[in-house]
A and B are shown apart, each in its own frame.
Chain A
């Protein structure tokens, strides 16, 4: 009792001064929909928090300096070797700082998980159409965060000044230099002179520990605030509409779950760091500009860039007194430009094609947007080919494939495989739609075969239950553009005229291609399995979940 009174006293004290009770109450009663894929974004947030904590620990010992020192630490094989202070201090963290290697490995694994989870989260948002209005801005912020994460990771990978770091920096320099006209200057400014110089590590350090994490933190805050303000999307289901949010309130359900999930993330990273070695810099040795190891790869989130560089033919021309290094700047900018640029443009392109300007809070099932899903898989395939090509020497070595064969496979596959992936995915989606339609029309097969008195055998089916029905019928198509409805002789509206209008009409037909749902008004089936019958049969379904149906203010529109 005294504890309760003490809490009450503290609460009153705070509320009298901050007037926060009302805001906190709204916060605690905020409803979050539940689906496993909604936790992918939380993996990113929690790995980021762990990155900040472990990174802070590492800064206490790391020396961002390229001053030459002779190593005298406890890693015997490198004793007496000349190296940069950055590399020596990383060795020191790994071998002489208590818990240093563990924290370093947690930091690196967390960076890998951070980027992997960004990819998974982005894929989830894309395939469920969760980027649609009103969430386009958050989608764009996400793409910027992905890009920032790539740079943050690259710079972190470069800091220890080991052999791999230097190789990564050399490629960074090469890509900068390949930019037409300004490239040489940019590389010169970044490195403060010829490669590698003595400035790059301190410069990357301040970018890595202050500037980029600050930007990421700011954008993550905006990202979460927008998500909170616009409310989370939800998966289709019984009682879930475009104007409500069905789920459990923040307190206690969501807080307990998300808190547990943080500990899962930390546990996974701690386990990985305890049992699996990552980036053994002492084996790579200090950076030496004339040395290079076989199997020098970037961390995986840079793999696609590496692959496109490896794949591209060695085209380099001298024109107008300048060297145009197409062999570097085209593969460095074009493929990732297609992926990120395409992802950024797509929500707006889709709106223009479909003319659908309405808000969407209910997620699409991937099969119900066959073209979007197929495009997404095509992009993933495109990225995946480049990614695999980035590891082509490892693949060649371990699978006994000649190196140039892997390069030629990639050169063909980056064009052909996405097209095949598009066609196959679209067919699969339409096939799944047919299956859905079949379920709605004929019900679920029970496996019971009944013999009628007349000797006829019939197969028994039962109607789909309410929950499944809500999922199956969640599909909505945008209204057709006016020109498609325009009767003969009518003049189409301005937006649909001319070449651009023709293109839009054609794209509309591609994007909205789908198998129509069975007509729910029962004209012509008459087989007892129409939708009315399905809906009427369901009386034994569980009622709405406790705590659900709270529409969270009810002001979605």
Chain B
């Protein structure tokens, strides 16, 4: 994304916020549903090793952006590029959803949690490691004869699951069906399930929705930990500004499918355009206030 392209849009941006090593670049993304223009010529990028947030009031088109990124929708126009650290790059708008997860290594969570309710917590985490285990099981053939190579891979997969369960305090619930977990734990489980697929970019769709303050804090710790100690960058959607201000490195603000601002939390918070469009009220609430 060039500075010129940036200037062409009406959005104000913080000049220093231009990405140096973007893991994800979205250019001129447009999505139309019939007559409805859900996303209008959106461009932004997410820096490797950072937490990038896309915020905007309800109905701003945030989830649609995610669905385009992860292949559940095919965008009407635009280019979405995922760059791995080794230089490999993927044009996500041309890939099937499961290939985006498998090859481009983009994982996601859902606004209304999508677990495998009738499977145990541990099973949920093993399904997430499907492709690794599939290879280890020799595409089932080696597994059927119970070869050691598969048993070893499965042990490793269970170890990875145990690591994440331990980190999120879910170890005790490992053998319970996912549907028996309380809501906050289900949210965490969905996140660590996505982490078990070892993504390079993790997209979280309103991860804090419905959480109480304590759970929200815990979530923030988890997300920071993922950023700092794992090879995974984060992209998250929120409509609640207070959640993202504390943990985001970079924020993109959407309204009616258009980008109205982008930059550091500090910049965005003080952008009059954001305050006008997003909060519609006076300055003071912009720092702490939630969505209307």
Instruction: Determine if chain A interacts with chain B.
Output: no
Using CB atoms and an 8 Å cutoff, list the residues of chain A in contact with chain B.
Answer: none
Using CB atoms and an 8 Å cutoff, list the residues of chain B in contact with chain A.
Answer: none
